[in-house]
Structure formats: C-alpha cells, structure tokens
Amino acid sequence: MAISSAAVGVPVAIFGLWWWKKQREIDGARQWPQTEATIESATIETYAGSRSGTVELPTFGFSYGVAGQYYSGRFSLMPYDDPRESLLVRMAGRKLLVHYDPEHPEIWFISDAIIEGCKVQQKMGPRLVALYPK
C-alpha cells in the first residue's frame, strides 16, 4: 500500500511544484513594465485538439515598441465556437497593453485573461495549453 501511495504522491508533488513555479512567473510578469501593442494581423488557424479532433481559433499577431526597438508576438482566443470574420475585422488595429521583461523586451505577457469574451492563449504559464500558436 505504501508503494502505491508513493507512486501517486510523487507525481502529484512534482506537478504541484511545477504549477507553483509557473504561478510565480505569472505574478512576476504582472510586475513588468507595460507598453501599448497594436494588433497587426488576424487569421483563423486550425489546431489539433486534444479530444475533439481539430479546432479553429482566431489568432492575432501584434507589435510593440520598447526603447526604439520593435517586437512582435501572437496569441489566440478560445474557446471560440464560431470563428467569424467579424471578430477578425473588429480586432484589426486594436490596441492592447502588454507587459514586457525589461531585461529581455522580446519576452511579453498579456495580463488580460479575457478579450472579446474569450480566454487569451499565450506562451507563458499554466494557462498555456497545447493550442498555443507555434
């Protein structure tokens, strides 16, 4: 019985430590300076879903400037059941705030968890799931 408890406990403890570390990274990123970014591109991209085959997500490219240098990033919105063109048109040219790492300004974080009623998928932290645009 002790062996099976350890077999379950160790992976749970490892996952807990990983989750705690990612939460600390997110909390730290929320303290980074912010700058205004502009959404430059919008498209519907198809991703392999974990259970339901493929899923179409609106994906947006944006750019921002720090100290005279320009950087870019991408994020998707999900869940999004009906990726209509109207969302893409509404988001084009939209401004949003991004946090950037002052030591590495190419590393960014969008603190908005929800945009247009959809969850923001980005490259950082536990919310990053498998659907993040590659």
Note the pLDDT tens digit of each residue in 31-56: 899 999 999 999 888 877 666 677 77
Q: Is residue 16 part of a domain?
A: no
User: What domain count does the chain have?
Assistant: 1
Q: Is residue 15 part of a domain?
A: no
**Is residue 130 predicted with pLDDT exceeding 80?**
no
Q: What is the mean pLDDT of the chain?
A: 76
Q: Is residue 134 part of a domain?
A: no
Q: Is residue 81 part of a domain?
A: yes
Q: Is residue 56 part of a domain?
A: yes
List phi, psi (to 5°) of 113.
-80, -25
Higher pLDDT, 44 or 63: 63
Note the pLDDT tens digit of each residue in 107-121: 888 876 777 777 887
Q: Is 70 helix (H, G, I), strand (E, B) or coil?
A: strand
The residue segments making up the domain with residue 68 are: 28-128
